[in-house]
Structure 1
C-alpha cells in the first residue's frame, strides 16, 4: 500500500533521513520506534508533503505521491495526526471534526461518521460545543484522531499519540487504534513508548540517527536484546 524508497531529507546541512526504505501493507499496523531526534517525525512529515525530500520516492497504492500537495494527499486517503495534536484551540470540538471532513460532499455519510467518532470517544460528545483548547491532553488527542477519521482515511499516520498522557488514557488511546485498524484502516504509528507500540503492531522498524537499523515483526523486535536494552528499559 505504501512504499518509501531511498528517502533523503536535509535540514540545511543536517542529513536528517538517510536512504530510508520502508513498506506498509494494506491492513497492517506498522510502527516506527527510535529515540528523540532519530527522524521518526521527519518520516511522517515527508509522507504528508510537509517536508520536501532531497532524494527518493514515496509510492501510495501504486502512485508516486512524492511532493504532492498536502490537500491532494488527504483526498487520496492519507490522514496525519501530528505530534502535539495541533487541534484548532479556538474552535469547538464539533468545528474541529467538521474541518476533518472539509473535502467530503456526502452529507449523510458525514453525519454517520460524527456518530462513529462519538461512539469511539464518548467524552467528545459530552464536550461537543466546548472550545478544543479547554480540553484535557487526552481529550485533545481523541479529538485529533477523531478529526483525522472524518476524512475516512485509507491510511492513518499517527505521531506520538501517547505523548504527555496518563497511563490509563494511553491504554484507551491504544485500544482505539487497534479498533480503527480492525475496522479497515491501515496505520503507520510513530511512538516513543516502544513497549506499547510493539504490543499492537504487526511489524516494526527501528530508526537511529536517520537510518533504519532494524526491522522485523513486532514480536521479533519485542524480544530482540538490543531493542530491549535501548528502548524497553531492560
Structure 2
C-alpha cells in the first residue's frame, strides 16, 4: 500500500530523516517507535504532504505522492492525526467533524460516517455542541481521530495518540485503534509508549536519529534486548 525508499528530509541545514525506507501493507498496523526528536513526526508530515522531502520515493497505491499538496493526499485516502491533536478550539465538536469531511460530496455517506464516529466515541456525541477547546485531552484525542475518519481514509497516520493521557484512557484509545483497523483501515502509528504500540502492531520499525535502526515483527522487537533496554524499561 505504501512504500518509502531512501527518504531524506531537512529542516534548513539540519537533516531530520536520513535514507529512511519502510513499507506498509494493506490491513496492517505498523508502528514506528523511537526517542523524542528521532524523526517520527517528520516522517508522518512528509507522508501527508506537510513537508517536502529533498530526496527519495513515497509510493502510495502504486503512485508517487512526493510533492502533492496535502489536500490531494487526503482525497487520495491518507488522513493524519497530528501530535498534540490540533482540534479547532473555537469550533464545536460537530463542526470539527464536519471539517474532516470537507473534501467529500456524498452527503448520505457523510451522515453515515458521522453516525459511526458518534457510535465509536459516545463521549463526542454527548458534547457535540461544545467548543472543542473546552474538552479534556482524551476527548480532544477522540475528536482528532474522529475528524480524520470523516475523510474515510484507507491509511490512517496516528502521531502519539496516547501522549499526556491517563493510563485508563490510553487503554481505551488503543482499543479503538484496534477496532478501526479491524473495520478495514490500515494504520501507521507513531507512539512513545512502546509497550502499547507493539501490543497492537503486526510489524514495527525503530527510528534513531533519523535512520531506521531495526525492523521486524512486533513479537521480534518485543523480544529484542536492544529494544527492551532502550524502549521497554529493560523488561
Query: Per the shorter chain, which TM-score range?
Result: over 0.9
Partner of 1:181: 181
Partner of 2:88: 88
Partner of 2:150: 150
**How far apart are the structure 2 equivalents of 1:15 and 1:153?**
30
Greater CA deviation, 214-223 or 103-112? 103-112
CA RMSD of aligned residues (A): 0.5
What are the residue-to-residue correspondences of 1:14-163 with 2, within 5 Å? 14-163=14-163
Distance apart, 1:67 and its partner CA? 1.4
Distance apart, 1:217 and its partner CA? 0.2
1:215 aligns with 2:215: yes
Any unmatched runs of 5+ in structure 2?
none
**How far apart are the structure 2 equivalents of 1:30 and 1:38?**
17
In the alignment of these two chains, the number of paired residues is 234
- Secondary structure in 2 matching 1:198: helix
**How far apart are the structure 1 equivalents of 2:49 and 2:98?**
23
**How far apart are the structure 2 equivalents of 1:109 and 1:62?**
26
- Secondary structure in 2 matching 1:215: strand
Which segments of structure 1 move beyond 6 Å, counting only runs of 4 or more?
none
TM-score by length of 1: 0.99
**How far apart are the structure 2 equivalents of 1:49 and 1:182?**
26
